[in-house]
Structure 1
């Protein structure tokens, strides 16, 4: 009997070992280093939102990055679904292809060889016939250490404004911000410059803004007001940027967005100043 039990135990062990060997759990992955090109892809061509202009296929070096189940929509980016996500690729020249329109009859609208730098980058497609604007991420990311509740978020302003179709702006823009200093009275601060003035295709650094949170016991969110000033060739302030509103009238540009303490946001100024779709901030949370 003991021999039978030992034999059965031995057979069970053999079966267990065979099953373990047969179902090896593997986690294939590629090592990411500081030299690995990484990127996010922003679709900022001034086109109306909707399925007709959605990018239903994105390929990099023949590898599928997005399709119709999760398309790249106008004024959006991939990878999406969470902050701080990037694609990676091999160093050297990469070929990027974008296909637009009906899934059963898609049109190749962008086919370009590009050099993606090492590290993390944002790629902004603003014209199907032009190379992307490539903006590197800072290393390390900005941060502030405090013993008490923080009061800072960071904004990066990117100027991709077009005057009309095929006409990038020749204006230099100064992005400015203002916060509420007293949430009970609604008193506002003075206007502050957000970084330096930027021409088309240029961008500021990650600039700190003050978040005076509206709920004391919370992670911390508050409204920040924004406006855009025109800067002359001599560096002087030429007044507020005027844009055409939905009624066809010229008005001073202004807007506001909520910001959360510790977050980093892209403020991409994209669209047409004097046509549709109108220029506006296309906001995304970077970190």
Structure 2
């Protein structure tokens, strides 16, 4: 329920609102468990890998999903989910990560009703393998799985049209994008994924990446179309940029990728 503030802005319990060309839009930081609320959102963080984990739920049905959990925080996430009275139906990954071990396998042992989910093209083990166009439902909400390969073959962007938000994994970061120099990476494919699948969403849609290394929590389609220093360039220039990043070899890749192929379990 919107409430007008004295300085002329708007707010929702636990969320920040702003005016756009299409009206009032909610920028979710987190939401509170208010009576009668229909959508819950919480953004969690791992300081080692700078990974964001997202908890989404429907307080009416108590069903929830968790996007991109980290192994070392599985107990933290499970405790929060139990405290809030949610039933975690799905633990989802946007792709097979190379910089941390997924917490999906561990969460399945802590929350026995949970099923692990990942894109079929990832080649990783999971209870459910998604392909482009599949829908993940929890309570009265749903996430559309949109294939956005380029960082890896199995990258998915999870879109919640009802809330005007999307979870882009490593495909699109805030003022950046995932690297394309390993693990089936393709600069051309990533560029097309972003422009055809993410930049075609409404400008006001909020975008939540899998990582941020500068303390930013979210962005919008409009911002990235206007300000992303790589993806605003023509394709040939983007490819040149990506070929000359000269990034170091990922520290965790030799442990993370084999572990993530088996839901993060053999790492333990």
TM-score range normalised by the length of the shorter chain = under 0.3
Q: Which has the higher strand share?
A: 1
TM-score (norm. length: structure 2): 0.28
Report which of the two structures shows the higher radius of gyration computed on alpha carbons: 1
TM-score (norm. length: structure 1): 0.26
Q: Which has the higher helix share?
A: 2
